[in-house]
Amino acid sequence: EMSEMSERSKQNVAHGLAWSYYVGYLKIVLPRVKKSMEEFCRANPNLLVCRKTWKLHILVPLNCDVYDDLEKADSNIQYVTDLTETTLARAGTKKRVYKHSLYAIRDEENQLWHCAVEYATPLQSLYAMSQDECAAFSREERLEQAKLFYRTLEEILKSSKECADAYRLIAYEEPEEAETHFLSREIVWHLRQEHHEEIAVLEGSHPCTPSTALDSAELNLQISVSDLPQPLRTDGF
């Protein structure tokens, strides 16, 4: 009965996507991110000065609008290079390659900020489902699914020791009126926060978090805890 209720409300879709994204991708790549950053910094010591930015920045647009080319999403975002690849045998595929791209983000003062950034790819599936008659996803349901995906992924990653301090989730809502450089400003805001965090650690103080950042409290879906899908077992079954 609970399974049928979950399927009717489609709560299991975002929950499953978040777990699949974590188990099938993030749990594999995030533990290797810092090593890739260290290797890059040895060859390019002046680009990634702040160690707090040595992580994968994951974009979570709540409208599920994912660009395959970040440079087309915002002209202030420019591709620089790819970080060191990780090659693994995975599900029958020999030498499967995992890699991340490094970008230069230009701010309003024409300063460049460098970081590894990419979209959360499962959002493409949510968007495609909302365009497919068989899935019967409305725009409102897609927004709820995107919020639930973010909240579930955030909870999973917070409890993951392997991925600790190797990522930063950047959830955002696009403004109603199109803004040419909205995305680059959003990324730079987070990079500045990371710089402030590093300075605060060095000085022994605690960084304050402005109220402008999206967090779980702002992504409240009005869903009771008892209605949410339960976590997957981690004992191998």
- Residue 170 in any domain: the answer is yes
Nearest partner of 145 among 5, 18, 4, 21, judged by Cα: 18
**Domain containing 75 — which CATH number?**
3.40.50.12100
Burial class (CB in 10 A: 0-12, 13-18, 19+), 149: buried
Q: Is the pLDDT of residue 229 over 50?
A: no
- Residue 144 in any domain: the answer is yes
- Residue 236 in any domain: the answer is no
- Residue 221 in any domain: the answer is no
Average pLDDT score, the chain:
82
CB 207 within 8 A of CB 52: no
- Residue 4 in any domain: the answer is no
Higher-scoring residue by pLDDT: 128, 172: 172
Higher-scoring residue by pLDDT: 7, 186: 186
Q: Is the pLDDT of residue 209 over 60?
A: no
Tell me the pTM: 0.82
**pLDDT tens sequence across 80-116:** 999 988 888 888 888 889 999 999 999 999 999 999 9
- Residue 216 in any domain: the answer is no
pLDDT in the model for residue 210: 43
- Residue 34 in any domain: the answer is yes
pLDDT in the model for residue 222: 44
Q: Is the pLDDT of residue 146 over 90?
A: yes
- Structural domain boundaries enclosing 95: 9-204
Cβ neighbours of residue 37 closer than 8 Å, sequence gap 6 or more: 48, 54, 55, 83, 116
CB 208 within 8 A of CB 75: no
- Residue 189 in any domain: the answer is yes
CB 206 within 8 A of CB 96: no
Counting the structural domains of the chain, the total is: 1
Q: What span, in angstroms and rounded, lies between the C-alpha atoms of 16 and 108? A: 39
